[in-house]
Structure 1
Amino acid sequence: RLGVELIGSDLDAIDKAEDRELFNQVCESIDLPISQAIACNSMEEVIKAAEELGSWPILIRPAFTLGGLGGGTAFDMGQLVEIATLGLRNSRINQVLIEESILGWQELEYEVMRDTADNATIVCTMENIDPMGVHTGESVVVAPLQSFSDADHQELRDKALALIRELNIKGGCNVQFAFNQFTGEIRVIEVNPRVSRSSALASKATGYPIARMAAKIAVGYTLDELPNPITGEGTTAAFEPTLDYVVVKIPRWPFDKFRTADRTLGTSMKSTGEVMAIGRNFEEAFLKAWASLEQGCPYPRPLTRADESEGEGMAERAHEQLPDSVLVDWLRIATDRRLGALLEAFRRGWSIEKVHEITRITRWFLQRFEHIAQMESDLVNMNIQPSSMDYNTIIRYKSHGFSDAHIADALNGFKPTGWKALPDHCNEENVMLRRHELNVHPRYRMVDSCAAEFAAKTPYYYSTYEPYQDDGIDHVPDLAKRNKQRMVAIGSGPIRIGQGIEFDYGCVHAVMAIRSAGMDAVLINNNPETVSTDFDTSDRLYFDPLTSECVSEILLREKAHGILLQFGGQTAINLAQPIEQRLKHLAGKGAEVQILGTSVDGIDEASDRERFEAFAKKNGLRMPNGSTGTSADDIRKAVDHIGFPVLIRPSYVLGGRGMEILSNEAQLEAYLKEAYLAPDKPLLVDEYLGHATELDVDAASDGEDVLVGAIMEHLEEAGIHSGDSTCFIPAQNISEDMLTKVAEQTKIIGLGLKIKGCFNIQFAIQGDDLYVLEVNPRSSRTVPFVAKSSGLPLAKIAANVTIGIPLSKQTIPKRTSGQICVKAPVFPFIKLRGLDPAPGPEMKSTGEVYGSDTSADIAYLKARLATEVPVASAGGVYLTVRNEDKEALVPVAEELFDLGFTLYATPGTADVLRSSNVEVTTVYRINERKHPDALDLMRRGDISFIVNVPTISGGAVRDGNMMRRLAVELNIPFVTTIRGARMETAAIRALIEKEIIPRKLEVHYDSKFL
């Protein structure tokens, strides 16, 4: 229609791969075995298909969705109807495949590349540890295949190549198989005719740039014409990668923040990110991957009753062993806890056969987990201190992935007080000192894609202690040949709630600035999904855990001059104190490293409540009344002094983890029951500022001057986490005098804390008063939004400051004007059942989208449409708000009625609207258990938009939660604030009455560094 040619795989190939019915026909035409399955386009067809299959469980696979959205495994008709309803709704062609279950079979993936001349190659093979029934994005994945014979591999390879040729795919694709380890049967599961999540993993596992090669093929190149970027001219892209190492990927789940969510893993993804690690054997790669997860302990620690209760500080239960019955459940049901449960089972002496019978995990992997448990047991029984460990013992454990902290804990008998509270003589530091005394350091091997058959040229490394000889292989270039200053940037680790891809943006731009300044940019990260882990982003890339041990060893090997911590989010900032404590030791070993940017003391002054309160008082800055406490009694006294409602949160966290607004004594006691209280981990208690407007400010300082990047106004009032708020640049409802005051206080804070580089401040405006809520002495998640909205490459500017280029010596681009930009959050509620979708002080969003225009309503509308939650244009609106907001709702309701919507409301809200002559239909509250209520109207399709401002009464909380959950499942938009209702209504009017015109960034500024 528009005269645009689709290059690469054509539409026919995509349809055959994504349409379940067509795909099955293709497989049958070339005699590839598939599971018995029936494509369905309605619920009647789904029920009929289930009857034809005749046995449970049944697998539901929606067509044309990502991450298994809307899919699942049904064990009875009720579950089938529930899952299939969601699947049909989320499929772009309203189609689901009803399929016989092959639960318990092994799942395998082949990443394949094919060109227009029919040259095809297998880029990477991958094996899922979790058996069929768990989405591959939710499974622990190992590359290359570990438990298969070469004959089995060759058979699967032939089938993968035959399938990609029959589908006529040009470029990269991912083929998934199921394998019955008892009978040898094979089933083709699906093909992704595109670059996928697995492609990113395969690219980082092999160094083969799949997306780049797919793009080259799409414009006409053939594989034999393209040089392999890993080996340069040594081989072409047609050369099949060969790995002489093991790669392990572990997903990162959000259940540490979402404790009420259903943790069961199935065919729909719930993880927010993943980590990858490389080792010379499975044990080494697995334990390095675990250390990369940043879950509080750098290894799978023994499980206790404290884990069952889910409270982080359940000290009284930390001494009680997890009951065997609970352990069996954690093994049988796939959840995020199963990995730790596997090791725990072998610590208790359970046999491989017993664990295999419960989990159906391949015996080869179970043997590896048993080996780790046996090695731990040997350490526990040694009865020695780190200073007595001999060279061979240390090498044995380090070559199997044991961190210094893991070794120290095992020597100490895994005391339940936690890995950071070990006695002085038996801790991570002393294991490191003994290791260094014996001159045991990791070697760094290059990811070369050819098992050293050809010379590799890519500066992409991983650490290993095996094989370990004095002349062992170390591929890092000779330091004597390098005369550039070496700056090490710390990446942001796995994507999780509060720490998303925005921080990788900062890392990449910091690296670009370092390289532009003529220095060597060295980057450490462990996330295969990021741009920073592309091997050509930095001068040298180390794919290793972001722990003080691994980072220290790389600083030592590089003889680094500086380390940048402020661009990797809280992951990097949390390394500041541990790295500072090791600087003297590193200097003694020849590495004179400086922590660049804001000093560790400056970071602590900004983050420590008492120190920052003293700073604020000294500089005339206003803060909400607050206090800190390290015991339950401290917290109760603080709340008594401040008065309800209060905002309570841990210190030194990102994404508002553990943050809640408490309104009464019962809520306080429930919070304290689960809270982790310790002298080094105080809780912060603040006065809750109701009806306040929150602002975010991103800025950069060089110690002499401050550059304010942008002042962002939040749509939602203070109390909703900034990461979950919709925000505007420029601010829309703030006076010029107040904006000037905000800028002045930003400069006072930046200069007073001696910040060098990026920082972020959160302010609140209540009436005419300006409050400082929080200062983050690092790059923030809004830095990319600021850059794209203002034209200021703030991350690059701040990175230049950290490496010694002051603001006065930099060319600062002219700030853009004339456009309004909106950042809107994207939430994972559709995949995380059991979670209340209402935003609050703890962050829940997993991403964000952007919209810009010359008017606020269109800019907001563009951002909202990008979230893929529809904007209503007709139908019914359900209204229920707390008493204090009922009058403010009236003009919103009037406008919605004027736009042609039918209004429904609960009795109290309806009475207020009628008294203002607004036509409305009264419906029952859900807890009245009369009909029709909101749930009835939603299920009938009568509701297209909901305004629900929650109250804290028990019945209203339950009603609101049920309604919001159903709204998520039915994809009905809802707002939970009056401000949000006003803006959504303006967007609805814009959708109905105005034209939406796309705008490109280049119209406003040079986007090269944005």
Structure 2
Amino acid sequence: MENIDPLGIHTGESLVVAPSQTLSDREYHRLRSASLKVARRLGVVGECNVQYALNPNGEDYYIIETTACFEPALDYCVVKVPRWDLSKFNHVSTKIGSCMKSVGEVMGIGRSFEEALQKALRMVDETLYGFHPYHSVPDGQELEQPTDKRIHVLAAALKQDWCIDKLYTLTRIDKWFLYKMKNITNMYTILEKLLGLAHLTPDLLKRAKRMGFSDKQIAKAVRCTELAVRALRETHGVLPWVRQIDTVSGEWPASTNYLYLTYNAESHDVKFTPGATMVLGSGVYRIGSSVEFDWCCVQCIRTLRQLGHRTIMVNYNPETVSTDYDMCDRLYFDEISFEVVMDIYTHENPLGIILSMGGQLTNNIALDLHHQRARILGTSPQSIDGAENRFKFSRMLDRIGISQPRWKELTNLEAAKEFCSEVGLPCLVRPSYVLSGAAMNVAHTHTHLEDYLNQATAVSKEHPVVISKFILEAKEIDVDGVACEGVLVCMSVCEHIENAGVHSGDATLVTPPQDLNTHTLTTIKSMCAAIVSALEVHGPFNMQLIAKGRT
């Protein structure tokens, strides 16, 4: 593996590519031989990792740190990209270096560097289009002193034709990588010059897809919709191929179902048998979405297999158990996006898709999958939308007679200030379709309100942002449960020790509750039963409630 960033940036903070792309054959074998000598000398049994510092202008190298039976045969390219959540913290340094700050990582697999890089960048943040030149602006200082956003600054600089020599001087990223990244921004320029989708030829469409462009990314460049690009792809037969990772170095035919999609191929490596059950994972670890979701996915897969079902897992996090290829019958190590999931669904024709184990990422694509007539197992996408969309959820609460804090859908800053003055500060500012409290804040003054609204609207422009009266001196209660076709089957109540206002992921919880009376617990159960019935919940659910005082 080769770090794309130069020495001085921790491997966990760097973009990494495998196999190495800029080493000569001589350099590669020198480092390989040295690694074998180290392993033998130390008597290593099992896995071994050796990290080197290599002079790019000579052959000097230094070792800086130290159950597969065979080396894998790499007819593919892998790019690892770290995930940072530094924006959640005030006054934190966004500089990256020898101190590791990332909270997770993803692995994009393709058959070209450009394809793998763009996949990985979308995996690390589903709101990104890929190596997109409009996520940031060129900034020489940020290129020279790297931050968590440098890759986006680099894309912007390449799009504005900063010369490769200058970028190399600033970043010390090998020119080979910079030229490959330039290929992507050049394709953007070509696509943007088209006069609409009608001028996108099959050849150009295939070139863009082979360079890792998503349908949404192409649509953004040619000014149309993602579904229009998908329809054009299908019309011209520009479809992805399913390839298999060879884990046995070509010693004998690979039997592992470790799969990925690519446009840089001409055939499938596997045959398809309809009727399996497809489970979507939760993607990259981030603050608010971590190993607990992967545990749910693994337990789901294990249970399905015990019941005799063939299973398909879709996930792209190399740190998870769900991406161990022996956990399921088929593992697709690929994006969890509407486009990719629908492509896999079309190839595999599964019994259905289970979304409920993947958390927010899978909830976000539920309606899009439903509109393309994908079979969703469990709670229906319309009900998921009814629970996630705060406007629809509020209307449902009013309809079934459950009280809620006063709220207003956000339209503009002045209207928000007027509402806050009417109900009295503090108020809670939050967008729909979010987990982990992203862009969710309590505004205590109008100045805070303005700052928080600017932050919130950047999270989800497609869903409404609402402000609610924040209830002071209240107790928060977490309920986890399971429902079957809208009927509550079982539930567990957790009581927050801190007052409401501390996110449940940061709060101290206790179960069974110690400071709730029988009347309150009975009311909670009745409310939950009414809500799951109204939403026709079919599967697991989580609900948060607040109690004023002890009732």
Match of 1:510 among 283, 286, 300: 300
1:632 counterpart = 2:463: no
Alignment-mate amino acid for residue 197 of structure 2: P
1:670 counterpart = 2:451: yes
Superposed CA deviations along residues 492-538 of structure 1, whole A, max 9, x for unmatched, are 01001111111111111222222223222111111111011010111
Match of 2:340 among 550, 556, 581: 550
Alignment-mate amino acid for residue 134 of structure 1: I
> Which residue is equivalent to 2:96?
265
- In our comparison, the structure showing a higher alpha carbon Rg is 1
Superposed CA deviations along residues 742-787 of structure 1, whole A, max 9, x for unmatched, are 1222111111210000111111121244xxxxxxxxxxxxxxxxxx
> Which residue is equivalent to 1:872?
none
Match of 2:241 among 443, 460, 485: 443
Q: How big is the shift at 1:554?
A: 0.3
> Which residue is equivalent to 2:34?
159
State whether residues 73 and 250 of structure 2, in contact with CA within 8 Å, keep that contact through their aligned partners in structure 1: no
> Which residue is equivalent to 1:705?
487
- 1:684-703 matched pairs, under 5 angstroms: 684-703=466-485
Secondary structure of the residue that 2:539 maps to in structure 1?
strand
Give the 3 Å change call, closer, same or farther, for CA 617–378 of structure 1 in structure 2: closer
Q: How big is the shift at 1:295?
A: 4.5
Superposed CA deviations along residues 636-656 of structure 1, whole A, max 9, x for unmatched, are 232122111111111111111
- 1:335-350 matched pairs, under 5 angstroms: 335-350=147-162
Alignment-mate amino acid for residue 278 of structure 1: I
Q: Which has the higher contact order (CA 8 A, sep 6+)?
A: 2
1:487 counterpart = 2:268: no
Alignment-mate amino acid for residue 348 of structure 2: E
1:253 counterpart = 2:253: no
State whether residues 544 and 550 of structure 1, in contact with CA within 8 Å, keep that contact through their aligned partners in structure 2: yes
State whether residues 630 and 679 of structure 1, in contact with CA within 8 Å, keep that contact through their aligned partners in structure 2: no
1:406 counterpart = 2:281: no
Q: How big is the shift at 1:298?
A: 2.2
Superposed CA deviations along residues 892-936 of structure 1, whole A, max 9, x for unmatched, are xxxxxxxxxxxxxxxxxxxxxxxxxxxxxxxxxxxxxxxxxxxxx
Superposed CA deviations along residues 985-1010 of structure 1, whole A, max 9, x for unmatched, are xxxxxxxxxxxxxxxxxxxxxxxxxx
Distance 2:326 2:248 in 1: 18
| Percent identity between the two aligned chains | 37
Give the 3 Å change call, closer, same or farther, for CA 753–529 of structure 1 in structure 2: same
Secondary structure of the residue that 2:505 maps to in structure 1?
helix
1:242 counterpart = 2:97: no
1:652 counterpart = 2:433: yes
Distance 1:553 1:658 in 2: 32
Match of 2:369 among 579, 584, 591: 579
State whether residues 387 and 434 of structure 1, in contact with CA within 8 Å, keep that contact through their aligned partners in structure 2: no
- 1:584-599 matched pairs, under 5 angstroms: 593-599=374-380
Root-mean-square deviation (CA), in Å?
1.9
Give the 3 Å change call, closer, same or farther, for CA 478–500 of structure 1 in structure 2: closer
State whether residues 272 and 348 of structure 2, in contact with CA within 8 Å, keep that contact through their aligned partners in structure 1: no
State whether residues 442 and 465 of structure 1, in contact with CA within 8 Å, keep that contact through their aligned partners in structure 2: yes
Distance 2:100 2:44 in 1: 26
Superposed CA deviations along residues 839-887 of structure 1, whole A, max 9, x for unmatched, are xxxxxxxxxxxxxxxxxxxxxxxxxxxxxxxxxxxxxxxxxxxxxxxxx
Q: How big is the shift at 1:701?
A: 0.5
Q: How big is the shift at 1:609?
A: 2.6
State whether residues 708 and 743 of structure 1, in contact with CA within 8 Å, keep that contact through their aligned partners in structure 2: no
Distance 1:705 1:408 in 2: 42
Q: How big is the shift at 1:157?
A: 1.1
> Which residue is equivalent to 2:259?
461
Distance 2:211 2:134 in 1: 22
State whether residues 431 and 463 of structure 2, in contact with CA within 8 Å, keep that contact through their aligned partners in structure 1: yes
Alignment-mate amino acid for residue 447 of structure 1: I
State whether residues 387 and 430 of structure 1, in contact with CA within 8 Å, keep that contact through their aligned partners in structure 2: no
Superposed CA deviations along residues 357-396 of structure 1, whole A, max 9, x for unmatched, are 1111111111111111222222223x23324322222221
Match of 1:430 among 228, 236, 239: 228
Give the 3 Å change call, closer, same or farther, for CA 488–753 of structure 1 in structure 2: same
- 1:834-853 matched pairs, under 5 angstroms: none
State whether residues 70 and 247 of structure 2, in contact with CA within 8 Å, keep that contact through their aligned partners in structure 1: no
Superposed CA deviations along residues 266-305 of structure 1, whole A, max 9, x for unmatched, are 111111111111111101111111121224122233237x
Superposed CA deviations along residues 826-846 of structure 1, whole A, max 9, x for unmatched, are xxxxxxxxxxxxxxxxxxxxx
State whether residues 478 and 545 of structure 2, in contact with CA within 8 Å, keep that contact through their aligned partners in structure 1: yes
Give the 3 Å change call, closer, same or farther, for CA 374–669 of structure 1 in structure 2: closer
Alignment-mate amino acid for residue 539 of structure 1: D
1:377 counterpart = 2:158: no
1:293 counterpart = 2:293: no
1:742 counterpart = 2:524: yes
> Which residue is equivalent to 2:354?
564
Distance 1:329 1:500 in 2: 33
- Point out where structure 2 has 5 or more consecutive residues left out of the alignment: none
Secondary structure of the residue that 1:244 maps to in structure 2?
coil
Alignment-mate amino acid for residue 453 of structure 2: L
- 1:777-788 matched pairs, under 5 angstroms: none
Alignment-mate amino acid for residue 168 of structure 1: G
Give the 3 Å change call, closer, same or farther, for CA 612–461 of structure 1 in structure 2: same
Distance 2:115 2:505 in 1: 36
Secondary structure of the residue that 2:252 maps to in structure 1?
coil
Length, aligned pairs only: 550
Alignment-mate amino acid for residue 149 of structure 1: S
Secondary structure of the residue that 1:639 maps to in structure 2?
helix
State whether residues 274 and 495 of structure 1, in contact with CA within 8 Å, keep that contact through their aligned partners in structure 2: yes
Give the 3 Å change call, closer, same or farther, for CA 259–170 of structure 1 in structure 2: same
Q: How big is the shift at 1:259?
A: 5.8
> Which residue is equivalent to 1:146?
21
> Which residue is equivalent to 1:195?
none
Alignment-mate amino acid for residue 256 of structure 2: T
Superposed CA deviations along residues 5-39 of structure 1, whole A, max 9, x for unmatched, are xxxxxxxxxxxxxxxxxxxxxxxxxxxxxxxxxxx
Secondary structure of the residue that 1:364 maps to in structure 2?
helix
Q: Deviating runs (4+, > 6 A) in structure 1?
A: none
Give the 3 Å change call, closer, same or farther, for CA 283–145 of structure 1 in structure 2: same
1:619 counterpart = 2:400: yes
Distance 2:119 2:191 in 1: 19
Distance 1:683 1:392 in 2: 41
State whether residues 473 and 549 of structure 2, in contact with CA within 8 Å, keep that contact through their aligned partners in structure 1: no
Alignment-mate amino acid for residue 603 of structure 1: I
State whether residues 292 and 298 of structure 1, in contact with CA within 8 Å, keep that contact through their aligned partners in structure 2: no
Distance 2:132 2:208 in 1: 16
Distance 2:550 2:345 in 1: 49
Secondary structure of the residue that 2:65 maps to in structure 1?
strand
State whether residues 517 and 550 of structure 2, in contact with CA within 8 Å, keep that contact through their aligned partners in structure 1: no
Q: How big is the shift at 1:616?
A: 1.7
Under a length normalisation based on structure 2, what TM-score does the superposition of the two structures give?
A: 0.96
| Greater mean alpha carbon deviation, residues 134-143 or residues 661-670 | 661-670
Superposed CA deviations along residues 60-98 of structure 1, whole A, max 9, x for unmatched, are xxxxxxxxxxxxxxxxxxxxxxxxxxxxxxxxxxxxxxx
Under a length normalisation based on structure 1, what TM-score does the superposition of the two structures give?
A: 0.53
- Point out where structure 1 has 5 or more consecutive residues left out of the alignment: 1-125, 192-212, 214-236, 308-321, 413-425, 584-592, 770-1010
Distance 2:47 2:455 in 1: 47
